[in-house]
Structure formats: C-alpha cells, structure tokens
Amino acid sequence: MRTLPPYADLLGLRTERADDGALLWVMPFQEQVVGRPGYLHRGAIAGLLEFAALGALYDALADEPVQVKPINVTVDFMRGGVDHDTYASAVITRLGARVANVEAHCWQSDRTKPIAAARMNLLIRRDDQKSSPRT
C-alpha cells in the first residue's frame, strides 16, 4: 500500500481485506468527520469514496509506478451517515492504458443500503509513457 496523505489521517481511515480479498476502507465516526450534529459531513463521505476508488486502482496496478489524476468525479448522496463506522469499497469498471473508470460505494451497518456512491474517471500516467503534444 502506498503512503496515504494527511487527509486520510484526519479522517481516521484504515484498510481491511474482505473475505473475498477485496480492499475495504473504514472511517470511524469521530468529531473530525461530523457535519451537522450526529451525522457525517458530506466532504468526509466524498473523501472516503475517493480513497476507496484510488485504493482499488493502485491495488490493481500493484507496484507499477504511475501518477493518477481525477478527470471527473460524481458523488450521489443517498442517505445520511450516522454514528457508526463507515465502510467503502470500489470496483474498476474499465482499466485502459491512460484512463480508468471506477465506481465506489460506502455503507454503514448494511452493505445493501449504501449511504453514497461515486463514479470517477481517472487519468493514468505511467512512467514509461512519453508526453504527447496537445492538439
């Protein structure tokens, strides 16, 4: 696993492996992630989803040296996150030479009832790719 940025520490993120080997991200409910009293802040939820998506991509690329930048991100908030640990996982729907599409979901006590979902398109720059001029 790559070194996480300070924002991951602020959110209190940790990773686990599910029984099927999938990478899970866990965000404990704590003061740093509270929005309105008793509920998660939407920015914390979006951050968790982004880490899950990037984590799945980096996991799939193993130790391949790459730089990844978001092209676009769409987050759907479905229900309020409450005073529980929040879990997230992501699935790569397409992994090309230069672009990856990833879907991430987060939930609390029941995985079948997500509190939010995200779709991300990510630009991948592999160290062996030469810069091409923009047209």
pLDDT reported for residue 79: 94
User: H/E element holding 56?
Assistant: helix 42-61
How many CA atoms, within 13 angstroms, populate the side-chain half-sphere of residue 49?
25
Q: Six-digit token pair at 89?
A: 């996982």
Q: What is the value of pTM for the model shown?
A: 0.88
The per-residue pLDDT for 130 is 55
Nearest C-alpha neighbor of 123 from the set 80, 87, 71 = 71
The CA distance from 41 to 79, in Å, is 12
CB atoms within 10 A of CB 27: 26
Predicted pLDDT of residue 129: 60
pLDDT along the chain (135 residues), means of 10: 80 91 91 88 95 94 90 96 94 96 97 97 83 47
Q: Which residue has the tokens 């704590």?
A: 30
Q: Write down all domains in the chain, each with its CATH number in brackets.
A: 6-126 (3.10.129.10)
Question: What tokens appear for 81 in the block?
Answer: 């996150």
Termini Cα distance of the chain: 36
Q: Which residues contact 51 (CB under 8 A, 6 or more apart)?
A: 4, 8, 11, 13, 25, 88
